[in-house]
Amino acid sequence: IRPMTGSLSWASLKLPTIRGTVGMDVSKAGGRGTVTVTIPANMTAEIWLEDGQIRTAGPGRHIFEFDSN
C-alpha cells in the first residue's frame, strides 16, 4: 500500500480482494499525516508512508503517523 496524496488533504480506498476488503484512509494537516489501514485475515501488507517509512502490518486495523512536510 503506497498512498501518494500530493496536494490532497485526505483520501480513502476500499479494495475488494479474494481474501476480503483492504481499506485505507489518509489525512494530512499541520505538517503531520495519518494512514489507517485495515488488512483482512490471512494477509500481510507493506505500507509505504509519504515520509519514506516502510511498515509491515498483519490482519486488523493499524494507524501510522508520518511527517507530511
pTM over 0.85: yes
DSSP state letters, the chain: -----TT-SEEEEEEEETTEEEEEEEEEETTEEEEEEEE-TT--EEEE-TTS-EEEE-SEEEEEEEE--
Q: pLDDT of 10-67, one tens digit each?
A: 999 999 999 999 999 999 999 999 999 999 999 999 999 999 999 999 999 999 999 9
Q: Report pLDDT for 63.
A: 98
pLDDT given at position 12:
97
Q: What is the pLDDT of residue 20?
A: 96
Q: Is the pLDDT of residue 69 over 90?
A: no
